[in-house]
């Protein structure tokens, strides 16, 4: 789902070691190493070129480091990973509280050279190195990276890493469940405000407040504050509309989940019917196009159009959209162990209905991700 | 906000947008450029210019947007996603094409063809957040290597116009009220993130649609950072970079607040940063290079024996633009920016002091003929929560 990107992901920033302990990350490193070895690679260099809060796709970095940040990682076949900061050093004290990685170095403007030094310390002078995130950098930084790794045989590992990340580990399902719990509580707070006579904008604000107090790191909210379309927060008049359509997405420990509100309940529940149709078709190996077509078949023509425009859903995890879209033209199939966020925004002249469902894909079908209440939240 | 003020806002905004477009057309004429594509990325950044936002005053939701500004004829704003059309139509005073992200580039191409501009001389301003894939695609979409036009947009945007200043002043008022709220709300025993959440929502209710905010506390801070669940304790220094945005214009204040009564040592060292800030404000006149102001800020700190702490890793910069139209000025060595009248930026001698830890003291300022004046009407004091 497309949403307004904030300039800084500024909610609670903390490593939840009860949810994602050190041994979880050590296990992930072992999985990545096995794939490196299988491909004949001696090490992996991960770059997330995010500076001053402009957080790009942090998923690869966070998968191994446990923190959502810009920076670089070096993972060799032996020894613990090394993290290299893009900052000038004043951030180090804070970073050390956010990750299980112990070897953290200040890279600053020389971060790529530091990465190469780390490889050299591990006896890898001119090796075959897998890379992740390099193509996402500006052209000038790609040149810097290539220069620092001059003489190495670099091989893009992005696609392999995406495959590793796609199927979720048990603790990732828990983390998504924790985010889902915050999102549902936030949506409930929005609904309560609306039910008590608040405006649609008031409902948005109540939802965001509940999410932030509920320990969210990032919050995205859209609502029908002007007509039946979803909109981001804007400084607009606090008009109350006859219905509330509210979408809340929450990130906790890097993991995303969504929840929605349609109030009052839409006549005929067309979005629910379409969601049920998708659930009935979804299982590991199922064609994504067939799942999408099943939903569209349950909707009237105008509602089909809005459902496709807003999207019927996607894989979710360390990204709000992991890039596998539920669409009738898709040529992909569902992968076992992925988490699917299905979504139907069905609007026509008679009704507007919006529903979502967060599901784990298994060989036998799909099962709902269970919300996980955080202790102390 | 009243309907009347919304209407007057719209007038100011539309006039400013017309002037921005006219000024850019003048620059285009100097190079015989027939149309400009001013691109905007939805990866909104506090430190990255967004040319589409600057020429439309519309904050995009989707990953891509662009203003196609021809020398002759009306501009068009191409946005993503298609379902954000109505919001855009209501807010942007120009023709709108709303499309799915996958159709963005082909829509730019077809709009240029429709206006018979494809064979003409074209320019692109991509801004700092333009994805490499989009930058690489322009030559193919336009059928030519475009003239790059970021500098012209930045040179115009760094001098604030009426709409920019209206939003900036509104954001300054929100930031001040927000800090006052922190003083009233924060208490020993509260987690940092709860204070941050309360401040965030307080400013949102005042109209701030976004916020670059760091809020954290320690008895001896190494730097400011994101809020954690650490509980505020007596004697902690709560650091806050508070940066609400109004219509995409960010405005930052930097504050240090002692939980409990400040010690004489804390007062003394904070006063040093105030002196540095005042020295910088006095020196920052039109025509003065930024490096001179950096030196003016650093001098009293160095004179007090802290010269080594006026450099990284003990600080980052002495100030910077917060506008999404231009990243000038940046107050650090290596930048040759020169102050001009009506530039707006945050000036902040935030840094580590060995006896007290990191302290923040910063104001959003506007360059006038007599130096930099704070848009908050004050120089930050050392706060205290009793």
Considering only residues 199 to 218 of chain A, which have any Cβ-Cβ distance to chain B shorter than 8 Å? 205, 208-209, 212-213, 215
Residues listed for chain A: 377
Chain A interface, best mutation among B128, B193, B312, B327, by max A CB count within 10 A: B193
A26-29's contacts with Cβ under 8 Å and 24+ in sequence apart are A26/A100, A27/A169, A28/A63, A28/A64, A28/A169, A29/A64, A29/A75, A29/A80, A29/A81
Does residue B249 have a pLDDT over 70? Answer: yes
* Residue B291, both tokens: 């490096």
DSSP code for B289: B
Q: What is the pLDDT of residue B2?
A: 46
* DSSP string for residues in B36-57: EEEEEESS--TTS--HHHHHH-
Q: Do A8 and B205 touch (CB under 8 A)?
A: no
Spatial separation of the C-alpha atoms in residues B205 and B177, rounded to whole Å? 11
Phi, psi of A205, rounded to the nearest 5 degrees: -65, -40
DSSP code for A58: -
Query: B224-250: b or e for each residue (b if 16 or more CB lie within 10 Å)?
Result: bbbbbebebeebbbbbbbbbbbbbbbb
CA-nearest of B341, B357, B345 to B332 is B345
Partners of B247 on chain A (C-beta within 8 Å) are: 235
ipTM of the complex: 0.95
Q: Do A234 and B46 touch (CB under 8 A)?
A: no
Are B383 and B217 a contacting pair, CB within 8 Å? no
DSSP code for A239: P
Phi, psi of A22, rounded to the nearest 5 degrees: -55, -40
Does residue A263 have a pLDDT over 90? Answer: yes
* Residue A216, both tokens: 């969210």
Instruction: State the CB neighbour count (10 A cutoff) for residue A77.
Output: 14
Spatial separation of the C-alpha atoms in residues A273 and A293, rounded to whole Å? 13
Residues listed for chain B: 386
Spatial separation of the C-alpha atoms in residues A25 and A27, rounded to whole Å? 5
Lowest mean pLDDT among A18-32, A90-104, B140-154, B320-334: B320-334
Residue A54: which pLDDT band, with cuts at 50, 70 and 90? low
User: Percent of chain A scored above 70 by pLDDT?
Assistant: 98
Chain A interface, best mutation among B9, B135, B197, by max A CB count within 10 A: B197
Query: B67-98: b or e for each residue (b if 16 or more CB lie within 10 Å)?
Result: bbbbeeeebbbbbbbbbbbebbeebbbbebbb
Instruction: State the CB neighbour count (10 A cutoff) for residue A120.
Output: 11
Largest CA distance in chain B: 71
Does residue A50 have a pLDDT over 90? Answer: no
Q: What is the pLDDT of residue A205?
A: 97
Considering only residues 351 to 370 of chain B, which have any Cβ-Cβ distance to chain A shorter than 8 Å? 352, 358
Residue A377: which pLDDT band, with cuts at 50, 70 and 90? low
Mean per-residue pLDDT over chain B, rounded: 95
Q: Which of A131 and A50 is assigned the larger pLDDT?
A: A131
Instruction: State the CB neighbour count (10 A cutoff) for residue A153.
Output: 12
Instruction: State the CB neighbour count (10 A cutoff) for residue A303.
Output: 24
Residue B266: which pLDDT band, with cuts at 50, 70 and 90? very high
Residue B5: which pLDDT band, with cuts at 50, 70 and 90? low
- Partner residues linked to A302 by β-bridges: none
Does residue B149 have a pLDDT over 90? Answer: yes
Alpha helices in B120-242 (DSSP H): 132-142, 150-157, 162-185, 192-205
Spatial separation of the C-alpha atoms in residues A5 and A35, rounded to whole Å? 33
pLDDT in tens, B165-191: 999 999 999 999 999 999 999 999 999
Summarize the confidence of residues B347-363 as an average pLDDT.
98
Q: B250: Cβ–Cβ under 8 A, 6 or more apart, which residues? A: A7, B46, B171, B210, B212, B243, B244, B322, B323, B324
Is B193 near chain A, with CB under 8 Å? yes
Q: Do B100 and A13 touch (CB under 8 A)?
A: no
- Partner residues linked to B66 by β-bridges: B39, B78
Q: What is the strand order of the sheet B237-242 is part of?
A: B214-218, B237-242, B253-259, B383-385
Instruction: State the CB neighbour count (10 A cutoff) for residue B140.
Output: 10
Does residue B361 have a pLDDT over 50? Answer: yes
* Residue B384, both tokens: 């205290």
Spatial separation of the C-alpha atoms in residues A238 and A202, rounded to whole Å? 7
Q: Do B44 and A4 touch (CB under 8 A)?
A: yes
Instruction: State the CB neighbour count (10 A cutoff) for residue A377.
Output: 15
Considering only residues 52 to 71 of chain A, which have any Cβ-Cβ distance to chain B shorter than 8 Å? 52-54, 56
Which parts of chain A are beta strand (E)? 43-48, 71-76, 82-85, 103-106, 128-132, 153-156, 218-226, 229-231, 244-252, 255-263, 313-315, 339-347, 352-362, 365-368
Residue B319: which pLDDT band, with cuts at 50, 70 and 90? very high
- Cα A344–chain centre separation: 19
- Partner residues linked to A153 by β-bridges: A128
| Nearest-CB residue to B201 (from A94, A208, A230) | A208
Does residue A143 have a pLDDT over 50? Answer: yes
Spatial separation of the C-alpha atoms in residues A373 and A376, rounded to whole Å? 9
Q: Do A10 and B44 touch (CB under 8 A)?
A: no
CA-nearest of A29, A73, A28 to A171 is A28
Q: Do B45 and A106 touch (CB under 8 A)?
A: no
CA of A304 to nearest chain B CA: how many angstroms apart?
Answer: 13
Q: Which of A239 and B21 is assigned the larger pLDDT?
A: B21
Chain B interface, best mutation among A1, A10, A376, by max B CB count within 10 A: A10
Start-to-end CA span in chain B (Å): 34
Q: Do B44 and A6 touch (CB under 8 A)?
A: yes
Residue of A nearest to B83 (CA): A309
Q: What is the pLDDT of residue A17?
A: 97
* Residue B295, both tokens: 């030196």
- The CA radius of gyration of chain A, in Å to the nearest whole number, is 22
Does residue B4 have a pLDDT over 60? Answer: no
Q: B80: Cβ–Cβ under 8 A, 6 or more apart, which residues? A: A2, B42, B60, B61, B62, B63, B64, B65, B98, B99, B100, B101, B104
Partners of B226 on chain A (C-beta within 8 Å) are: 10-13, 94
Q: What is the strand order of the sheet B249-250 is part of?
A: B210-211, B244-246, B249-250
Query: B28-50: b or e for each residue (b if 16 or more CB lie within 10 Å)?
Result: beeeebbbbbbbbbbbbbbbbbb
Is A51 near chain B, with CB under 8 Å? yes
Summarize the confidence of residues B131-143 as an average pLDDT.
92
* Residue B111, both tokens: 């709009």
Spatial separation of the C-alpha atoms in residues B354 and A207, rounded to whole Å? 42
Does residue A328 have a pLDDT over 80? Answer: yes
Is B326 near chain A, with CB under 8 Å? no
Does residue B315 have a pLDDT over 90? Answer: yes
Spatial separation of the C-alpha atoms in residues B347 and B352, rounded to whole Å? 16
Are A134 and A144 a contacting pair, CB within 8 Å? no
| Nearest-CB residue to A94 (from B82, B131, B223) | B223
Q: Do A205 and B205 touch (CB under 8 A)?
A: yes
Strands B147-148 and B122-125: parallel
| Coil/strand/helix, residue B290 | helix
Across the A:B interface, residue pairs with CB atoms under 8 Å apart total 159
pTM exceeds 0.90 for this model: yes
HSE-up (13 A, CA, CB side) for residue B289: 8
Q: What is the pLDDT of residue A376?
A: 64
Instruction: State the CB neighbour count (10 A cutoff) for residue A143.
Output: 11
Does residue B8 have a pLDDT over 70? Answer: yes
Angle (nearest 5°) at CA B372 between B367 and B374 = 110
Are B177 and B217 a contacting pair, CB within 8 Å? no
Q: Write the CA distances from B64 to A7, A57, B46, B245, B256, integer angstroms.
A: 16, 16, 17, 20, 38
Q: What is the strand order of the sheet A229-231 is part of?
A: A229-231, A218-226, A244-252, A255-263
Residue of B nearest to A14 (CA): B228
Taking each helix axis from N to C end, the angle separating A270-281 and A288-297, rounded to the nearest 10 degrees, works out to: 150
Angle (nearest 5°) at CA B169 between B165 and B175 = 140
Angle (nearest 5°) at CA B191 between B190 and B194 = 95
């Amino acid at each position: 789902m497309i949403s307004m990107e904030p300039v800084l992901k500024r909610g609670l920033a903390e490593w939840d070691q009860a949810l994602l302990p050190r041994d979880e990350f050590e296990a992930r490193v072992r999985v990545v190493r096995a794939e490196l070895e299988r491909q004949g690679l001696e090490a992996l260099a991960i770059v997330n070129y995010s500076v001053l809060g402009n957080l790009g796709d942090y998923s690869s970095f966070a998968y191994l480091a446990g923190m959502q940040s810009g920076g670089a990682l070096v993972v060799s076949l032996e020894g613990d990973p090394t993290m290299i900061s893009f900052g000038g050093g004043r951030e180090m004290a804070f970073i050390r509280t956010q990750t299980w990685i112990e070897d953290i170095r200040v890279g600053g403007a020389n971060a790529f050279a530091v990465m190469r030094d780390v490889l050299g310390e591990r006896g890898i002078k001119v090796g075959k190195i897998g890379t992740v995130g390099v193509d996402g950098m500006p052209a000038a930084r790609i040149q810097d990276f290539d220069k620092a790794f001059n003489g190495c045989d670099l091989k893009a590992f992005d696609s392999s890493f995406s495959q590793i990340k796609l199927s979720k580990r048990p603790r990732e399902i828990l983390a998504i469940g924790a985010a889902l719990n915050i999102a549902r509580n936030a949506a409930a707070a929005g609904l309560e405000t609306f039910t008590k006579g608040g405006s649609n904008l008031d409902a948005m604000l109540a939802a965001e407040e509940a999410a932030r107090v509920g320990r969210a790191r990032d919050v995205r909210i859209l609502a029908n504050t002007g007509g039946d379309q979803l909109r981001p927060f804007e400084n607009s008049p606090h008009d109350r509309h006859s219905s509330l359509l509210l979408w809340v997405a929450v990130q906790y420990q890097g993991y995303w989940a969504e929840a929605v509100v349609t109030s009052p309940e839409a006549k005929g529940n067309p979005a629910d019917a379409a969601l049920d149709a998708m659930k009935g078709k979804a299982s590991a190996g199922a064609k994504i196009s067939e799942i999408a077509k099943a939903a569209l078949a349950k909707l009237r023509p105008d509602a089909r159009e809005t459902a496709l425009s807003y999207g019927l859903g996607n894989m979710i995890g360390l990204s709000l959209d992991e890039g596998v879209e539920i669409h009738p033209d898709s040529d992909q199939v569902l992968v076992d162990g992925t988490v699917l966020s299905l979504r139907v925004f069905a609007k026509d002249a008679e009704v507007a209905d919006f529903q979502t469902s967060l599901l784990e894909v298994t060989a036998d079908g799909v099962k709902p991700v269970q919300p996980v209440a955080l202790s102390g939240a | 906000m009243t309907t009347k003020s919304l209407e007057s806002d719209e007038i100011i905004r539309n006039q400013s947008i017309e002037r921005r477009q006219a000024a850019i057309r003048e620059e285009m004429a100097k190079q015989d450029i027939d149309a400009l594509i001013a691109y905007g990325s939805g990866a909104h950044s506090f430190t990255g210019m967004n040319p589409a936002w600057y020429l439309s005053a519309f904050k995009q939701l989707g990953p891509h947007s662009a203003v196609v500004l021809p020398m002759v004829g009306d501009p068009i704003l191409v946005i993503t996603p298609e379902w954000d059309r109505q919001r855009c139509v209501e807010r942007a005073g120009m023709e709108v094409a709303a499309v799915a992200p996958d159709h963005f580039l082909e829509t730019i191409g077809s709009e240029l063809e429709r206006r018979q501009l494809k064979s003409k001389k074209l320019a692109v301003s991509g801004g700092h957040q333009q994805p490499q894939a989009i930058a690489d695609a322009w030559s193919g979409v336009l059928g030519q290597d475009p003239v790059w036009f970021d500098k012209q947009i930045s040179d115009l945007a760094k001098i604030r116009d009426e709409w920019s200043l209206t939003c900036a002043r509104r954001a300054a008022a929100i930031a001040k009220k927000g800090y006052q709220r922190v003083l009233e709300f924060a208490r020993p025993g509260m987690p940092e993130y709860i204070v941050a959440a309360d401040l965030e929502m307080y400013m949102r209710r005042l109209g701030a649609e976004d916020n670059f905010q760091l809020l954290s506390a320690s008895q001896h801070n190494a730097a400011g950072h994101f809020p954690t669940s650490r509980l505020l304790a007596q004697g902690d220094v709560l650091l806050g970079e508070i940066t609400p945005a109004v219509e995409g214009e960010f405005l930052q204040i930097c504050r240090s607040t002692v939980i409990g009564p400040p010690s004489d040592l804390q007062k003394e060292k904070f006063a040093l940063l105030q002196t540095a800030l005042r020295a910088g404000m006095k020196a920052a006149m039109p025509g003065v290079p930024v490096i001179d102001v950096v030196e003016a800020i650093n001098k009293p700190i160095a004179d007090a024996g802290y010269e080594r702490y006026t450099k990284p890793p003990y600080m980052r910069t002495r100030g910077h633009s917060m506008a999404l139209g231009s990243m000038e000025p940046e107050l650090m060595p290596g930048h040759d920016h020169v102050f001009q009248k009506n530039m707006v930026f945050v000036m902040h001698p935030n840094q580590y002091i060995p006896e007290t830890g990191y302290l923040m003291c910063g104001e959003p300022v506007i360059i006038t003929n007599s130096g930099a004046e704070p848009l908050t009407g004050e120089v930050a004091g050392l706060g205290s929560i009793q």
